Chain A
């Protein structure tokens, strides 16, 4: 039992990490699906989209053959509409709200249709947006993730010259570095970022980390406004003995490595335990399996009813052969020669509802032990508390506080996305970026 890389052949890796939700192969497929849409009034699908994409309109535009119009409808609300069509948990958003569900019929494949129009725009480099001429105002955006890009695009459209400071060497944020590779490929992420930036007026300074390459004070001085879209950091620590052992990984770093290196170079255990049941936990578990892990066990302290991931995501993990232990919380990781050997868990039971409204897990006092050689932590992510505190931005345990105009306690400094909400979906970050841009434009008198 050991952690090894290069467990599978190149061909099998390619197959395992190919697109999990294939697109429409022919235009006819998209049109047939589009024509199924009832084009509801005040559509429930659009209402549950955090970016309020006019879903009935873009679907109507697909059926009428106006694909450019369709793509523009999508991007006008969500500049990352293409990526969101692949990573959104649509079963609890647009598709979950589709009125066909109430007829016990298959909901409209909103995401697949959205992907059809938006990917076509990206691959054919349609110029759908024209920015206003520069008006001399300058804004800095920290972080080229979904929030930062959405903010930058919206600001540039209004003639603001934007500079993005990004600590990584590529844009896209978690879309590029933190999502399962079978959902979005590296090429796609690059093309999407390029497409967003093609509007012009946005200069991206890569490998420039806030607090290292540049400070917030300097940004405030150089620019008329600043938007912080710095996201969240590594996985929350488990605070249990043995966490320092060789073989304990955090899901964010694990997926980051997987997204930035060849699959054959990513080491994975024979028996992997994944702690958590959110989207990132699923991504870590399924990808461990797809890298060649023999057994992957997902461990969650509540029951399936309280799980944060969607049924569709859980099914993905089930289909990949992962197993699940519900009502269990890691207590101790036992090692041998510094390497992970066993995981001791407390058996939990459900108590009274907590702040989230879900029934809280309570330790039953009993424990059990499983053999593992790798433990991946995916029980939420930690905000960048240090950076935030150093910049004297008001925050709650590292989560930046903003007002209704997305402004922080610092004049001219705005924020949004995971760094504010602690970690939500890409689509939420896009909306936060748009909100930030709106606040900045108002602040700049534009």
Chain B
């Protein structure tokens, strides 16, 4: 069985699964339950000047019966700072082998940040995470995403923190920017030890069509909330990749966050450069027990691939994401329908016929039609394979247009024809 032992900025945890700073890490009771369930570490819910929360706080985007997107309007911890600090100390004693990171968000002045950092590291915690990403409530007070969205302020705050920090500091980045890179570089220049991303994305998940009040409803009103859950994973993966590919950030560890629900999601974040992952929504929806399969699934996958340490695969897929003009235009695939496996649902046909390339023929039958690919029309777009409900019924078969690698820049240089249909 593969070893899932993780070391992030020198902070050890038995596995790379941390609970992100959020409601599940708000108090001792929850964190103990999480550690008992097997989580590798937690990022304690953000400490700062005590706040007041509202009711209700969460809403979701459902696809079918399942929530694919989750939204919250909670602020940072609404419990007294002293209570949080005491409980952190108590948990550290109970679970010395787990990672304990404290998320911080101080009022925007040097003195206040210094005080917060000192109080936090006095607990014996292993690291700090700077919350530069919270998109609601704190922004209006000049904190959270308001800091993360302005690289200059971000750099300044990191510098303040690093002046007194004696444990590793992770800066958590906001996705509510056109690119996460400038904020990441600013944090790096300010001296941060690591980065974590993404925080939540501003959103409106939906409206109650009876009352016409958007969710979550707080006495007839709502606000933009922070969106997370499986729906944001692709956006998070993209943002993590941009950091992983940035030359100036080459040696800075990344903690990947955003919709991690299964071990596969976690592996994907790590393949794109994250050294570990943080999870919140999946735990909130299914409970802490999900960590069992996160660990087990990743470990089995590693065994099958022959990886003995999680470091064996971190970043392996990063070079596979390139610029469009570097793609090989001579690469060409065509769909093939396995008639033995086909269940005649016609979804491939109608999607191709209505919205793509009219590359599938239908031979009417009663009640089952027969569908076949018109190879000469197929552009290899994958749509039919995506909509097919049967595994491996539609396969994409390679039929290169030419043997050599030929990218768009070269293609233009040679003046090759554009109209190939």
Contacts and interface: CB of A to CB of B under 8 A. Distances in A.
A5 interface: no
B343 interface: yes
B332 to A, nearest CB: 27
Contacts of B347: 38-41
A102 B344 contact: yes
Nearest to A46: B367
Interface string B355-368: 00000001010111
Given A32-B65, A44-B368, A102 B350 contact: no
B344 A44 contact: yes
B367 A35 contact: no
A42 interface: yes
A337 B397 CA distance: 81
B23 interface: no
Contacts of A102: 343-344
B349 A31 contact: no
A34 to B, nearest CB: 9
A103 interface: yes
Contacts of B345: 38, 40-41, 99
B369 interface: yes
Contact of A42 (B64, B346, B389, B390): B346
Contact of A40 (B65, B346, B366, B390): B346
A47 B366 contact: yes
A60 to B, nearest CB: 12
A44 B345 CA distance: 8
A188 to B, nearest CB: 29
Interface string A51-94: 00000000000010000000000000000000000000000000
Nearest to A101: B343
Contacts of B65: 28, 31-32, 35
Given A41-B347, A45-B367, A47-B367, 15 more contacts: A35-B64, A35-B65, A40-B344, A40-B347, A41-B350, A42-B362, A44-B344, A44-B367, A44-B368, A48-B366, A48-B367, A63-B64, A99-B343, A99-B344, A103-B343
A272 interface: no
A134 B12 CA distance: 83
Interface of A: 28, 31-32, 35, 38-45, 47-48, 63, 97, 99-100, 102-103
Contacts of B362: 42
A100 B390 CA distance: 10
Contacts of B367: 44-45, 47-48, 97
Q: Which 8 A-B pairs have the closest CB atoms?
A: A41-B346, A44-B367, A41-B350, A47-B367, A99-B343, A102-B343, A40-B345, A97-B367
Interface in B57-88: 64-65
Interface residues of B, number: 17
A238 B142 CA distance: 93
Contacts of B390: 103
A44 B343 CA distance: 10
A39 to B, nearest CB: 8
Contacts, number: 43
Contacts of B64: 35, 63
Nearest to B349: A41
B403 to A, nearest CB: 38
A35 B62 CA distance: 12
Contacts of A35: 64-65
A298 to B, nearest CB: 30
A47 B365 CA distance: 10
A14 to B, nearest CB: 35
Nearest to A41: B346
B369 to A, nearest CB: 6
B321 to A, nearest CB: 33
Nearest to A36: B64
Nearest to B209: A65
A173 B369 CA distance: 36
A100 B367 CA distance: 13
Which of A39, A97, A102, A103 has the most chain B CB atoms inside 10 A of its CB? A102
Nearest to A48: B367
B352 to A, nearest CB: 10
A203 B389 CA distance: 50
Interface in B156-188: none
A39 B367 CA distance: 15
Contacts of B344: 40, 44, 99, 102
Contacts of B366: 47-48
Contacts of A97: 367-368
Interface in B321-358: 343-347, 349-350
A105 to B, nearest CB: 9
A40 B387 CA distance: 11
A48 B365 CA distance: 11
A40 B389 CA distance: 10
Nearest to A102: B343
A109 B366 CA distance: 20
Nearest to B388: A38
21 contacts: A28-B65, A31-B65, A35-B64, A38-B347, A38-B389, A40-B344, A40-B346, A40-B347, A41-B345, A41-B349, A41-B350, A42-B346, A42-B362, A42-B364, A44-B367, A44-B368, A47-B367, A48-B367, A97-B367, A97-B368, A102-B343
A47 B368 CA distance: 9
Contacts of A38: 345, 347, 389
Contacts of A28: 65
Nearest to A28: B65
Nearest to B354: A41
A32 B369 CA distance: 27
B36 to A, nearest CB: 32
A45 B345 CA distance: 10
A35 B63 CA distance: 10
Nearest to A45: B367
A35 B389 CA distance: 13
A99 B350 CA distance: 16
Nearest to B364: A42
Contacts of A44: 344, 367-368
A43 B369 CA distance: 9
Contacts of A43: 346
B370 to A, nearest CB: 11
Nearest to A49: B367
A126 to B, nearest CB: 19
A46 B345 CA distance: 12
A276 to B, nearest CB: 28
A43 B367 CA distance: 8
A42 B369 contact: yes
Contacts of B369: 42
Which of A99, A100, A103 has the most chain B CB atoms inside 10 A of its CB? A99
Nearest to B63: A35
Contacts of B349: 41
A35 to B, nearest CB: 5
Contacts of A47: 366-367
A243 to B, nearest CB: 41
